[in-house]
Structure formats: C-alpha cells, structure tokens
Chain A
C-alpha cells in the first residue's frame, strides 16, 4: 500500500478558521465544506486510493487562485490542484489536511488565433473542447488522451498527456506554447506565448508534466494543427505478438510514421470484440491497428506500403478501411478496450510502462509467467509505435489481499520495463501509483536534483506533496548539503 504524508494536526485543528478565510477569498459557491460534497472529490481515476480533502476550493479568477495560494503558503496549508480528476496515477488524490484546488470554473476559450495557429484557453476547458472550438477553422489540437471528452487542458499540462497520435504529433509538451501560472507564493508568471522557443531558461518545458507540484496553471496557449483531409486504417492479425512487434519495427524502419499504431493481445481482442462487435479476428494472438492520415495521395500510397510490410511479416489477416464508418469501427474496439476489460473483471489496474520496442516479445513472455505466479490475468493494449505498454491487471477488490497482489504484479511489470531499458510511465504520470518505484530508474543524486528544481518553485513543499517522489522534499537540507564542505585537491586530470 502507498502511504501518504502524515496530516498536520495543527492545520486540522484550525480547519474552521481556514474554511472561513477561504470563503472570504473565494466568495459565493467557491468553497465546498460539507462532507457529502467533499466526498465527490475523494479520488481521481486511480480509484484504488481515496481521501476526502479538508476543503474544496473552486476559484474563478487568477487573482483568487493567487489569494488562495498566498494564504496557504502563509499558513502552511498543503494544496492539491485538480482538473477533471481523470488522472490514472493518483496525481489529484486529495490530502486529509489539504485544500483541493479545483480549476473546473476556468472554462473559457479566451482567444482563437487562426493566423498563428494557436488558441488561448483556460485550464478547465476539456481537451476535446479545444478541438471542437477551432474545428470551423479547419484546425484541431493534436494530443488526444483517451479521456479527451472529460480531461482538461490544465490536467494535460500537469501530466504531459499523450494519446494515440503522439508518435507523429507529439505529447502535450510539444503542443503547448505558453502558460500563465501562479506560484505557491501567489506570484503570477507568464511563460512563452504565441512565439517559438524560450527567451531564457525553458521553464515552460519543465512546468509541463510537473504533476501539479511546481505551480497552478491558470491559462494555456496551445498550438493548433490543420485537420488532416483524410485517414484510413488497417486491421492486421498476427499469429504472435512478436510478429506484430516486428511489423511495427519494419514500418518505422521503412520511414513511415503512422498517425496511430496500436497492438492488442488475445485477451484484449476478445474482451473488446465481445463488447463492441468490431469484427476483430478472434483467432489472432495479436491485432495491429495502423492509421495513416493526410492527403489521399499520401494515405493511399502508404496504406499499400504497410499492407505489403504486414504480409511480409506473417500477417494472418489484413483489412483496409474502405469508408469512414469502417475506420471508426476498427478503432471502436481499441478505444473501448478499458471498459471492455472492466466487463470481464470487477476491477483492473492499468499500467503504463514504456519499453524499447525490440523487447516486446521478451517482456510479454515474462508477463505471462507473472500471470501464472500471481494467479491474476493480464490483458495488453499498447501504443506500439512508441513502445508504450498498457497492461491491464484484472483483480477483484472484494477478495482480501487481491489489490495488494495486483499492485505487486504491476510493480514487477514496471521494474521489468526499466530492466530492459524502458521507463516507469509513458503518459499517465508517476503520481502516487509509481512514486515508490522511482528509485528503480533514478538514484539518490538524480532524485535530489529533481527535488532541487521543486524547491526553486515551492521551497515549503506545499504543492501536491506526497506525489512523484518517494520521500518528501526537504529543501533547506538539500541546499545545505549541495556543495560539500572542505576543499578538494586540484583535480588530477589532463590539463594544458
């Protein structure tokens, strides 16, 4: 089980006074105090962990955010920022002694700038909402996490969200060009804008993906892309996952970067087919969906190339979409894979490691062994182009000990990802879920260096503490020990 920091008894004792002050700072319905209503915020999409927050605050303006943060800093109150609460890693898990700062009222599209292909939006706008707002101009926002109907741009910035299309179009970090954010000291800072690159240190780059620990984002400028005129997909069955993996390597090695490229294993294929009836090949061990987008001249050319490569790599079936309906049907099963697995098991944990693609065969075989050892089933869907695995571990939370078993299984999978040269998380974030595994990837010096960055933004560790790092930041101590005391001798190395 993952432990959260001990609540501050002093803060809990002052709860009534804190709530009263927050009501003054954010008048109207902006402060939620009743336990029944606070309970709605007790978890994000990582539902295995729940905690009712001390109080929920829903500000409407940047000035209110600044006031709340300044007050919290002065009173040593922890703050957990939250968008739509769709984090799969517990990034928005509340704290018993913390303010849950929801940005859901920041819903305005501030500006659509067609000439500069960007939009300025408030963080509570949903990911899909951005694309819908700019659609009439023939533009869209490329990162498309599968929660895009619900998840917000603010949350996407915090988590550096990816999606099916990110191999070709990049993650959130490659598509966000400016932010306004508020520091825990209540200072409002703007980074970037409509222009390219940073004029100084690229602080925007490090704010994106910082899991709500460096600042609270109050406005985001996103880059927009022209909507591709068309897309076609291939649905390819393979007798083994390795075969599908080799095909993916050959497609990329052949110079093709598809808009999307996804693999599902047998259990995932079956669960999805039972759920949405997409006519998936049930005899296949692995299903590869490849989508190519662009002008018809390019799509048709590349579809033929991919089909040829697939057949060379032992595909047992290969269908090419002939209509938009058929393309969407190919995707329907993949997009419904998580709920489909939800139908065949009371609970599941969704993992998110990335591996070098060449290791897919070895990793899947090791996972099969783990399934036997743990006595739990595991379905696999993954973003094949970038080696980002989403093993879904099936368990039943009502069976005592089974959550722990599932967590141990998940941790073993992530350790394996790191062992073969990969990483703990490709797009879901560390949050609390992978926090205690950080030392499999990073040593103490690495983690201290990241924490020193945290200290530069938030030296009292009040913003989203207990996330990402296995140990809380102790900024004073970190800074004190940085340069070792005592003179070193003149370095004994070649010089001229």
Chain B
C-alpha cells in the first residue's frame, strides 16, 4: 500500500503508467469527502491528487472558470460570489449525509466525478451540463484533453459528458473548465403546507409547467419535516420575482414566504438532505424516477418497508429514501427498491449503507445485456487494464 502524492499532471501520468504496467490498481482521492459514496474501491495504492489545487483562470464576462481538481468547492464558490456569479447546479457537499471526516474537503474534482447537483438541477442542469472541457490522465498513463474553454463547442465527441459522473473510473481529471452563471439578484420561496405526496408531485408539475421559471421544487412529507411542506423557488431580478411569486401563489393557493437569505438556507438544506438527518442506523437510497411517478414509487416501497421516509426534490425527479437498516435487511432494501423502480423508469443508487452492504449490493443501477457490454468496452477504451478506481461503480467498472 503506497500513497502517491503527485505534484503535477506529469507525475500523475508517471504513477498511472507504472500501475498499468505493473498490474497495480489505484484509488483516486482529492479531498476524500466522497470516499464513502459508491462501491468501495479495492486498490493496492492510493493516488492523492490534492497537490493539484487552485483556480487556473476565471473570466467572469466569458462565464468560464478553469481550476485544478483538488480546488476546494468553497474556494470556487467564494471567488464566484465575489463577481456575483455561481455554479448554477449548486453542488451539495453531503458532509453530514455521508458522515465524512471533518477535514475531508469537498473539491471540484469530486463534484464533477460524482456529477453532484442540488435543487436547481431541475431547471439548470447538472455538472455534466456545465463541464466545457478538461485535461486528464487515462488508465494507460497518457495525458489527454477534450472539449474547450469556451461556452459553445461541438468539436469532437463530447467526452466531458462521459467523464462527469464516471467516479474516477475512466481517467484522473487534472484540469477542469466549467461554464458558470450569473447569480440571481434575489430569490424567494413559497411554502405550501399540508399536501400529501401525490398532490405535492402534481402541484410541483403544475408549477414547473407555468412560464414563471420556478427554479426548484421540493416536497418534505410530514414524517420528514414538522408538517408536510411543498416548496417553490423563484429567482431573478426583484421586480420579476415579486410578480412571479404572486402568480404562483394564485395558482397553488396561499403559502408562507421565505425571503432571500432564508430561501437560500432552505434550499441548501434540501441539497444536503438535512430534513432526513440525523441518520441513526438508517440506509439511504437516492432515486431518480420518472418524476410524475415518484409518489407511486415511494408508496410501493413504504408498503413493504414501514420505516421508509422520503424527501422529494426536482419535482419528484429525485427521491431521497431513508429506511431503518434493520428493516432493510441484508440487501439494504435493494430488491424492494429496484422492483418499485423497474416498471416506472429511472435509476436508484444506494448512498448511505455500511461498507459491507455497499460491497455486496449493486450500488448503482445494474446494467444488462448489450448496454452492460458497451459500458465495459467504453471503460476498456479509457482504462484498458482497470487501474483507476476499480469496482467503484460496479464489478469491473
């Protein structure tokens, strides 16, 4: 077990090339805050890229930021805030959710590798939608790049989409270029109380179908919050937000309002899954179902797992599902959850469970047949001997 701490891209390439030629495997970490997310990696050595940190270039007027992978998310967010900009996909940290070490710092590389997006994802997109280009080291130890440093580019295959959310299994990111966005002048959240899950999903769809640019919608059922609350977020210039809050309220009925700071805090909490915390002996699944079927998926699971609690984000497109570990059983509830999802479309990821459970159970949505074979060929095309984060997504990937 060796811990490599390369100082630059060249040294990363050297370490990976050595591993590839010596059939040794590497676990890639930067801040290490997402080590507990995904399937446990079984590797002989650790490649700690925390030496590759810092913003390389930030041009607010171009909406483009380039940074090294270990740059703390907090650093990037502070720089952006100073120019009244932001990462539109508002990546969560999940420190409490994953119970990560207090010193483990969420980094840009981790956010991109895990494709982490917060509540605004329903309208704005995920890291995959904002990754303009990158440099990386593939599993053969070759330095390569793709994409560009401008906001509009279709030159060559869109490898950025492939790298975002690949959990470090395809290449080690060494430089990341993102599209950034102006920060809205103000925001306001409308809270409607007392809706059941199905009614809340319908209300969220109704709001998202209006032209009032509702930018986040979430439903906190009675079990998760004090009282069931369905939240609608509006952002933009003050006169516009004032008008649109009124318009949404006319549509959905009176509610309480959270002004700018309270609204931001509310959505940060939703992104961090705070309404389901603290977790004591609980297992947490992250479901991305067909949004309109979210309540039905939950009802089916809850019918078989009585301790199930949920938080609905993205208008139902994201369901956080928490279950008591003892009730979930040896498979963490996988059979029940996947059976509820399968006929309704979408995918489920086991986020919080013991290492043993995450090793035993398929953490990500299982793939079958030609799709599984294609994913394996794609992996082999980038990491031919399986050096990088082996098994992080599934056996062999």
The answer to whether the Cβ of B20 comes within 8 Å of any Cβ in the partner chain is yes
The answer to whether the Cβ of A450 comes within 8 Å of any Cβ in the partner chain is yes
**One of B21, B145, B155, B317 near A196 (C-beta < 8 A):** B317
Q: Quick one: given A301-B240, A441-B148, are A495 and B155 in contact (CB under 8 Å)?
A: no
**One of B6, B148, B244, B384 near A423 (C-beta < 8 A):** B148
Report the separation of the CA atoms of residues A422 and B149 in the bound assembly, to the nearest whole angstrom. Answer: 7
Q: Quick one: given A298-B240, A386-B150, A449-B159, are A115 and B205 in contact (CB under 8 Å)?
A: yes
The answer to whether the Cβ of A160 comes within 8 Å of any Cβ in the partner chain is yes
Segment touching A, from B69-77, B179-187, B224-232: B179-187
Report the separation of the CA atoms of residues A486 and B17 in the bound assembly, to the nearest whole angstrom. Answer: 11
Count contacts on A: residues with CB < 8 A to the other chain: 111
The answer to whether the Cβ of A383 comes within 8 Å of any Cβ in the partner chain is yes
**One of A166, A196, A488 near B318 (C-beta < 8 A):** A196
Q: Chain A: interface secondary structure?
A: loop
B163: nearest chain-A partner, CB-CB: A202
B365 adjacent to A453 (CB under 8 Å): no
B11 adjacent to A159 (CB under 8 Å): no
The answer to whether the Cβ of A311 comes within 8 Å of any Cβ in the partner chain is no
The answer to whether the Cβ of A494 comes within 8 Å of any Cβ in the partner chain is yes
A199 adjacent to B349 (CB under 8 Å): yes
The interface residues of chain B lying within 8 Å CB-to-CB of A254 are 182
The interface residues of chain A lying within 8 Å CB-to-CB of B149 are 356, 421
**One of A255, A455, A457 near B185 (C-beta < 8 A):** A255
Segment touching B, from A43-51, A317-325, A340-348, A424-432: A424-432
Q: Quick one: given A166-B152, A202-B164, A206-B162, are A488 and B21 in contact (CB under 8 Å)?
A: yes
**One of A226, A255, A486 near B211 (C-beta < 8 A):** A226
Q: Which of A137, A190, A423 has the most CB of B within 10 A?
A: A423
The answer to whether the Cβ of B64 comes within 8 Å of any Cβ in the partner chain is yes
Residues of B5-20 at the interface with A, using a CB-CB cut-off of 8 Å, are 5-7, 11, 14-15, 17-18, 20
The interface residues of chain A lying within 8 Å CB-to-CB of B161 are 173, 202, 204-206, 208
A468 adjacent to B156 (CB under 8 Å): yes
Report the separation of the CA atoms of residues A430 and B143 in the bound assembly, to the nearest whole angstrom. Answer: 23
The answer to whether the Cβ of A361 comes within 8 Å of any Cβ in the partner chain is no
B162 adjacent to A491 (CB under 8 Å): no
B345 adjacent to A455 (CB under 8 Å): no
Give a binary string over B272-283; 1 marks a CB under 8 Å from any A CB, 0 the rest: 000000000000
The answer to whether the Cβ of B96 comes within 8 Å of any Cβ in the partner chain is no
A201 adjacent to B365 (CB under 8 Å): no
The interface residues of chain B lying within 8 Å CB-to-CB of A204 are 161
The interface residues of chain B lying within 8 Å CB-to-CB of A209 are 154, 157-158
The answer to whether the Cβ of B346 comes within 8 Å of any Cβ in the partner chain is yes
Q: Quick one: given A115-B292, A208-B161, are A488 and B154 in contact (CB under 8 Å)?
A: no
B15 adjacent to A493 (CB under 8 Å): yes
The interface residues of chain B lying within 8 Å CB-to-CB of A457 are 374, 377
Report the separation of the CA atoms of residues A352 and B347 in the bound assembly, to the nearest whole angstrom. Answer: 38
Residues of A453-495 at the interface with B, using a CB-CB cut-off of 8 Å, are 453-457, 468, 479, 482-484, 486-495
The answer to whether the Cβ of A29 comes within 8 Å of any Cβ in the partner chain is no
B5 adjacent to A496 (CB under 8 Å): yes
Report the separation of the CA atoms of residues A468 and B242 in the bound assembly, to the nearest whole angstrom. Answer: 49
A196 adjacent to B367 (CB under 8 Å): no
Report the separation of the CA atoms of residues A204 and B157 in the bound assembly, to the nearest whole angstrom. Answer: 12
A424 adjacent to B155 (CB under 8 Å): yes
Segment touching A, from B122-130, B298-306, B326-334, B353-361: B122-130
Give a binary string over B110-132; 1 marks a CB under 8 Å from any A CB, 0 the rest: 00000101000110011011000
Report the separation of the CA atoms of residues A115 and B209 in the bound assembly, to the nearest whole angstrom. Answer: 8
Minimum CB–CB distance from B130 to chain A (whole Å) comes to 9
The answer to whether the Cβ of B98 comes within 8 Å of any Cβ in the partner chain is no
The answer to whether the Cβ of A294 comes within 8 Å of any Cβ in the partner chain is yes
The answer to whether the Cβ of A105 comes within 8 Å of any Cβ in the partner chain is no
The answer to whether the Cβ of A30 comes within 8 Å of any Cβ in the partner chain is no
Report the separation of the CA atoms of residues A229 and B2 in the bound assembly, to the nearest whole angstrom. Answer: 60
Minimum CB–CB distance from B197 to chain A (whole Å) comes to 15
Q: Quick one: given A195-B288, A450-B146, are A491 and B14 in contact (CB under 8 Å)?
A: yes
**One of B156, B208, B369 near A438 (C-beta < 8 A):** B156
B157 adjacent to A210 (CB under 8 Å): yes
Segment touching A, from B54-62, B252-260, B261-269: B54-62
Report the separation of the CA atoms of residues A245 and B5 in the bound assembly, to the nearest whole angstrom. Answer: 44
B5 adjacent to A449 (CB under 8 Å): no
The answer to whether the Cβ of B364 comes within 8 Å of any Cβ in the partner chain is yes
Residues of B371-397 at the interface with A, using a CB-CB cut-off of 8 Å, are 371, 374-375, 377-382, 384-385, 393-394, 397
A297 adjacent to B242 (CB under 8 Å): yes
Give a binary string over A182-219; 1 marks a CB under 8 Å from any B CB, 0 the rest: 01010111110111111111111110111000100000
B209 adjacent to A114 (CB under 8 Å): yes
B374 adjacent to A483 (CB under 8 Å): no
A224: nearest chain-B partner, CB-CB: B209
**One of B154, B183, B209, B237 near A160 (C-beta < 8 A):** B154
The interface residues of chain B lying within 8 Å CB-to-CB of A137 are 209
The interface residues of chain A lying within 8 Å CB-to-CB of B289 are 195
The interface residues of chain B lying within 8 Å CB-to-CB of A450 are 146, 156-157, 159
A445 adjacent to B144 (CB under 8 Å): yes
Q: Quick one: given A198-B165, A298-B239, A488-B18, are A386 and B210 in contact (CB under 8 Å)?
A: no
Minimum CB–CB distance from B314 to chain A (whole Å) comes to 6
Binding site for B on A (CB under 8 A): 113-117, 137-139, 159-160, 162, 166-167, 170-171, 173-174, 183, 185, 187-191, 193-206, 208-210, 214, 226-229, 249-250, 252-257, 294-298, 301-302, 354-358, 383, 386-388, 421-430, 434, 438, 441-442, 445-447, 449-450, 452-457, 468, 479, 482-484, 486-496
Closest 9 CB pairs of A and B: A205-B161, A199-B347, A199-B365, A298-B240, A255-B182, A195-B346, A452-B381, A297-B243, A456-B377
Binding site for A on B (CB under 8 A): 2-7, 11, 14-15, 17-18, 20-22, 51, 59-64, 84, 115, 117, 121-122, 125-126, 128-129, 138, 140, 142-146, 148-162, 164-166, 170, 181-185, 202, 205, 208-213, 236-237, 239-240, 242-244, 247, 288-292, 314, 317-318, 345-349, 364-365, 367, 369-371, 374-375, 377-382, 384-385, 393-394, 397
A-B contact pairs, 28 of them (CB 8 A): A174-B125, A187-B370, A196-B288, A197-B128, A197-B288, A198-B165, A199-B348, A201-B166, A201-B375, A202-B164, A214-B157, A295-B240, A295-B244, A298-B243, A302-B237, A356-B64, A356-B149, A358-B62, A425-B154, A425-B155, A450-B159, A453-B381, A453-B382, A483-B140, A491-B14, A491-B17, A493-B7, A495-B3
- Extra A-B contacts (15), CB below 8 Å, given A195-B291, A356-B64, A488-B14: A117-B208, A138-B211, A174-B129, A195-B317, A195-B345, A199-B367, A200-B367, A201-B379, A257-B181, A298-B239, A301-B239, A354-B148, A356-B62, A482-B140, A494-B11
